[in-house]
Copies of this chain bind each other. A is one copy, B any other.
Amino acid sequence: MGVKFYLGIDLGGTNIKAGVVDEHAKIRSKVNLPTGAVGGPDEVLSRMCRAGDQAIKEAGLKTEDIRVIGVGAPGNLSHKKGIIIAPPNLPGWRNVPVRDRISAYFKRPATLENDANAAAWGEYWAGAGKGKHSLVMFTLGTGIGGGIVYDGRFLRGFYDTAAELGHIIVEPNGRQCACGQRGCVEAYASAMNAANIAMEELRAGRPSSMKAVLDEKGSITTETILNHMLNGDDYARDIWDRTCRYLAIACVALNHTINSEIIVLAGGMVNAGDHLLTPVRKYYWDLQGPVFGDASPQIVLAQLGSDAGLVGAAGAAKLNEERNDL
């Protein structure tokens, strides 16, 4: 019997990534297409199919060579029913039966997972979590996504909405979050919100070398914060530290719930490397009670970068096939 191949499709609000991944987690092809979300579900689904076709062709394979297709997609969604319910960044979608549509087009079995879970599975299968018992992953981007893999399985939750880790409340009566809650870790420590807080405080008069950038460009990013911190700006260091500390509070909550072997930080902010990891770890150990000793997850950086979703979607296809849970 030859090597088994899986097709992963990572559906994002801006781009569709598709690729063939073999059973050893090796990427055999990779295709990127714009999502074209304004065209609505039918248009997006046809682009997903086109991206998949191209990925299969580029891998030198035929559709029949693919065992199962894994789709990672923004929530909320139902893995069991294979439908995308009503995701905020795919306007006009409501109860779209993505799994069955994809399966019907390719005439292969398909499976649907939340994109953050898929990315977590990618790191578990082939990245920072390889060989580990369990991991919790925070994806630090515009928002904060989350995924949990425990003892070789997804922890999806009874209602399919586990691991919405960005919405752990870290500051009661705190900042308004896009989800409707107040004081979510996402409202403080996502890349977008960390930059938003900095811009508010700069406009309110906090002295900083970043003020000139804000005045000139009209906005700053976490990259600006990082660069100015490294150039010795005190306020940039202050806002970066506060961001890392809020992340650490959420990590403490995850230790005291899941107690996974590792906690993985992923997403654009991970480009900061040790400048992110070192203070998050420091605050984590400062915050955490000594009574818990060292029986705590190690906090590490993701390793697969933007391939995690694609690899994880294909890996979920393999896992769910094996577990009879497509």
Chain A contact residues, CB within 8 Å of chain B: 76, 88, 133-134, 146, 148, 150, 155-172, 177-182, 184, 245-246, 249, 252-261, 287-293, 295-297
Contact = CB atoms under 8 A, between A and B. Distances in A.
B292 A179 contact: yes
Contact of A295 (B159, B165, B171): B159
A164 B256 contact: yes
B169 A172 contact: no
A21 to B, nearest CB: 27
B287 A158 contact: no
Copies of this chain, whole number: 2
A287 B159 contact: no
Contacts of A164: 255-256, 259, 292
Contacts of A259: 156-164
Contacts of A163: 256-257, 259
Scoring A164, A182, A257 by chain B CB atoms within 10 A of each residue's CB, the highest score goes to A257
Given A249-B169, A289-B177, A155 B160 contact: no
A289 B157 CA distance: 17
A161 B249 contact: no
Nearest to A184: B289
A139 B161 CA distance: 24
B289 A180 contact: yes
Scoring A157, A256, A290, A297 by chain B CB atoms within 10 A of each residue's CB, the highest score goes to A256
Contact of A288 (B160, B171, B181): B181
A88 B290 CA distance: 13
Nearest to A253: B168
A168 B256 contact: yes
Contact of A159 (B148, B184, B289, B296): B296
B159 A155 contact: no
A157 B260 contact: yes
